[in-house]
Amino acid sequence: MLELGRRLGRRRASAAAVKRAANDRTMALVAADPELRAALFRLVDVAPACRGNEELRAHLAAYLEGIEDPGPLASFGSRAIDSRALGRASGGVAATMVRQMAKRFIVGETIVDAARPIERIWRDGATVTVDLLGEATVTEEEGRAYARRCDEALVELSRHAAGWADRPAVEADSIGPIPRVNLSVKVTALTPLVRAAAPERGRADAVGRLRELMRRAAGLGAHLHVDMESMDSREMILDLVLDLLAEPEFAAGPSLGLVLQAYLRDSEEMLERILARAAAAERSVPLTIRLVKGAYWDHETIEAAQHGWAPPVWTDKADSDRCFERLTRRLLDSYPLVRTAIASHNLRSVAYAAAYAEQIGLGPADFEIQVLRGLGDDLQEAVVEAGLRCRVYCPVGDMVSGMAYLVRRLLENTSNASFLASRASGSDLDALLGRP
């Protein structure tokens, strides 16, 4: 495992990798100043609403001015904005930086825009799952519009994918074919009625739309992956998906997946429920389970504190990492009942999964590694070179709908506890590959 981890962790010398490394070092410098980091995140959040570079410059100036104890970078930024030579240009520079950040993480505004970058990923030996950006809906029309966007995306992606070159390494495993088209769907975007206190209302509103998307995916031979979000909606989403999978209509397809969040304390119990339901459904197409650490830690801990509850998430990162490894073993042991997708940028997590899969006799195509576009690009290249199947999570949408996603990814990239920040700061690779 250690040798594979070291091999995956070696930086490539490509021009793109060098540029990414420089960007990562810049982000690490920003992360070292918490107040500057918060100010820049506020700027990213407000950027889509600004009506021009001058308005963006004014916001940046105000955010920097609000820093009580500015460090060297924040002080330099404030002086540059106030200077006669650089002040007028600072708004344009800020706008360019925000656009570059968005371009790093978001593959295109529409499926048509995204088609070429997605095909490039395919040519490079990896495959993708597409996520249509947009947070929870608040009106019925927004829910219907999101369902239409998903339907159109399945059709458009299938049209483009038909012309891609053959890639046997990512198109099949020991069970059978793996769809070229893979779309991630949020149930909370299909309906505005998701409420923890009344789950049946949200379920009743979403079930018809999700059923129609499953029919479309089955007809096109595509994969539909249902994202899991906060605890407020988890039980409803899980029961909705597993009940649909049990319907006779879907016994032969489509290929469908769920997300399992290792940072939740009850995730192992949740996995056993999923495996039992998957076995009872007796489908000819296995369920795919994407294993993630989880992206709503702050939300879950703050909400629990407000209500006086015990937090549903592990509060120690090492506990979450250990749980991730236990779930990895259980999932890989369950093949071919389920297909496993390890979604992580942590080299130990990836190397651990690959080593355990080999130990129990699975082939390199019998599981996959998933990374986020913009955060896992180096790992994507290394995983493909190692002969493993890699899938890139590719968001598609405009800046307004993608802003919440973008800020979450920036928070993940600059978190002091993140593997990526540790690598950017030059931490010893063997130490990072150590047992959690």
CA distance 228 to 131: 13
For the stretch 314-317, contacts whose Cβ atoms lie closer than 8 Å and that sit 24 or more positions apart, written own/partner, are 314/263, 314/264, 314/265, 317/417, 317/436
Mean pLDDT of 389-414: 82
pLDDT value for 413: 63
- Of 310, 320, 227, nearest in space to 268 by CA: 320
Helix (H, G, I), strand (E, B) or coil at 70: coil
Cβ–Cβ under 8 Å, residues 199 and 232: no
Q: How far is CA 270 from the centre of its chain?
A: 20
Q: What residues contact 21, with CB distance under 8 A and at least 6 apart?
A: 11, 424
Euclidean distance between the first and final Cα of the chain, in Å?
14
**Tokens read off for 173:** 């495993």
DSSP 35-67: HHHHHHHHHHHHGGG-SSHHHHHHHHHHHHHT-
Mean pLDDT of 365-388: 93
pLDDT value for 71: 85
Residue 37 has pLDDT above 90, yes or no: no
CA distance 411 to 422: 14
Residue burial 45-76, b: 16+ Cβ < 10 Å; e: rest = bbbeebeebeebbebbbebbeebeebeebbee
Residue 194 has pLDDT above 60, yes or no: yes
Residue 267 has pLDDT above 50, yes or no: yes
Mean pLDDT of 51-57: 88
Q: How confident is the model at residue 103 (pLDDT cuts 50, 70, 90)?
A: confident
Model-level pTM?
0.88
Q: What residues contact 65, with CB distance under 8 A and at least 6 apart?
A: 78
Cβ–Cβ under 8 Å, residues 429 and 30: no
Asked whether the CA dihedral 96, 102, 105, 107 is positive or negative, the reply is: negative
Name the burial class of residue 200, with classes exposed (0-12), middle (13-18) and buried (19+) by CB atoms within 10 angstroms of its CB: exposed
pLDDT value for 122: 97
Q: How confident is the model at residue 181 (pLDDT cuts 50, 70, 90)?
A: very high
Residue 418 has pLDDT above 70, yes or no: no
Strands (E), 201-329: 223-226, 255-261, 287-292
Q: What percent of the chain has pLDDT over 90?
A: 54
Domains of the chain, start order:
2-103 (no CATH), 107-432 (3.20.20.220)
Greater pLDDT, 26 or 73: 73
- What is the CB neighbour count within 10 angstroms for residue 285? 20
Q: What residues contact 281, with CB distance under 8 A and at least 6 apart?
A: 242, 245, 246, 251
Element (H, E) at 94: helix 87-105
Residue 280: C-alpha distances to residues 1, 234, 245, 332, 418 (Å): 35, 21, 10, 19, 38
Strand 368-372 to 389-396 pairing? parallel
Residue burial 3-31, b: 16+ Cβ < 10 Å; e: rest = ebbeebbeeeeeeeeeebeebbeebbbbb
- The type of residue at 119 is E
Average pLDDT, the chain: 87
- Of 282, 161, 150, 164, nearest in space to 216 by CA: 150
Greater pLDDT, 429 or 254: 254
CA distance 415 to 404: 16
pLDDT per position as a tens digit, 231-248: 788 899 999 999 999 999
Q: What percent of the chain has pLDDT over 70?
A: 90
pLDDT per position as a tens digit, 118-159: 999 999 999 999 999 876 688 999 999 999 999 999 999 999
Percent helix, percent strand, percent coil in the chain, to nearest 5: 60, 10, 30
